[in-house]
Structure 1
Amino acid sequence: MSLTDLQIKRLPSPETGQKTYYDKALPGFGVRVSQGGTKTFVVLYGKNRRRRSLGRYPDMSLAEARMLAKQAQVDITLDQQSLRSGLPKVSFEASRAKFLEDSASRNKAKTVQEYKRLLIKHFNFKQDIGDITRHDIASVVEDIKKPSEQKHAFVAIRTMMNWCVKRGYLDVSPTPPMTFKTRTRERVLDDAELAAVWHRAEGFGYPYGSIVQLLILTGQRKGEIVGLRHSWVTNGQIAYPSEFAKNRRSHTVPVGARALDLLGKISGGADLLFPSRFNDERTFNGFSKCKAFFDQDLNIEPYTLHDLRRTFSSNMAKLGTPIHVTERILNHISGTISGVAAVYNRHAYINEMQVAFGEYEKHLSYILSKYAEA
């Protein structure tokens, strides 16, 4: 059959064993369905028509599997008889040492240290670099239990293998394409990651870098920072009018000294702190392009700007800030004080928020000092 996503979804499970359905459009490529319902892309390659698993559906898309199947049928790294043809014999250990040595001259010390930790901890192949297969690498990565460590290890070995290709130790990298599922709605940056984002923002500058710094410093929503006006910042506080706030409730935040210092350095003729390039009355809107460029030099797990708000809240909890104070800072309309209690509790918690921000900025300063930019 000519395989399509709809057909793959409908493929029945055999009563026993496994059954393979081959693609009419690409001979040798197909989907193997097991008794339990697992569907795995496979390819036949080489003179002896050896079979190789490519990945499971739907974690791997049909388009990606077809591309890999085509590569597998001509890729010399999958044919052990020609694998070593014309290539020098270099052990994995020697290749790793040379890669780390070269990286030290081109990357930051922290990056090299992380590469070294990951490659030595997880990858200790005894064979020559050219004898390592996709299966060897995939097996190591899949055995790593912690999702973030798994992804970092994969990035490290992929970077090393690509370097080996450039140095002529390999014709083609044996690193397999792998997908990693991250539950972004639960993402909280650890201290090292938060410091990395801050230092990157500091060097990135206005406007995007300043927006990221204020997100870290205040815990406010992205829209609340990008729409901020000079006229709302008075007496050491940000006073959001009710018509602007997301929940249509006026919101006053007595931010810390570091945030106020940053706000004071942002100047311009417009009332908006972050106007668009072409209209002073419209807010900055280049987030997608800026974030893509911003993240290029960050060696951390993928994150969203909203994750910075969740990280702020988590750090407040770590510092022992009462939850109702944190919720006032975040302007959560539902939480520990809601319903009838919220109607009768009109206390603004300004002093409590000031104390919380003071402790948070001390904690942030400690983090930034501990993970100072190399």
Structure 2
Amino acid sequence: MYTGSIPVLASKLHSAAKPLEDKQRINETKPDTQVSTDFGGTTVRVDLALEAYREDHLTGLRTGSERYTQLARIVAPFSHRQMHEIDNVTLSNVLGRWKGGTRNRYRAAVTHFWKWGRAYGYTTLHPTLLAGKETSRDDVLSVRLLRTLYHHAGRMDEPWATYGRLLILTGQRHGDVMNFHHERLHQGDMHLPTSKTGTPHIVTLGTRGLTLATFHCHGFNMATTAHFKRRWFRKAGVPLSYRLHDIRRSFATHLAEAGEDEADIDRMLNH
């Protein structure tokens, strides 16, 4: 059974260390930022850290304005406290105001904001926040269910065995994976000349994904995709309320919750 880290296999994402000069530039714009002898890092108020995060990260995102609004709502009750003073209980209590998919989107926003704060020495907290229970339309498959699906996909007939595993490894739209041909592999990358967005897309593959893509071939049609999905999910014990598209959503969600950069996730998924 596949036991690796599913989202990372295809992504090759690496968290880049923030340049020292960027940190100095941001700190210089915050007059009440100071070194704390007790904390051992740099103290900064949460609201000022959020403004720095907005300038440093969110302005480069297509959804940056929306993400800033989400974070502003979350930190409002403790915005004038020092970032290093905020603990997991405080964050959990605030997130309790939201349910389902909204809670999970806010949870991902908090996770990345605090990861950014750790990179600058503003906090040492690694938030561990419970996920919200989502409706069937907005479900996210757990890593355990994705591993189970990957394992059972390998037991299906070809070309479905390869198709199912590539969906999990790449997080791409199922139509794009269906139309992919191994002749479009170039130096370990999956080249998709057309997509839903109307733009070409390149997917960097890990070793396992590259091996599968090398043998990937045509042979699909939309009439049999639904039948494949039912057989696949039933064998894996996954509720049929999940859709193939939920694999893609889960791919993105697990990366976001791990603190990966949203702009990188958007580029990877051609969103």
Q: TM-score range by the shorter chain?
A: 0.3 to 0.5
Flag the structure with larger Rg: 1
| TM-score scaled by length of structure 2 | 0.47
Richer in strand (by share): 1
| TM-score scaled by length of structure 1 | 0.35
Structure with the larger RCO, 1 or 2 (CA within 8 Å, 6+ apart): 2
Richer in helix (by share): 2
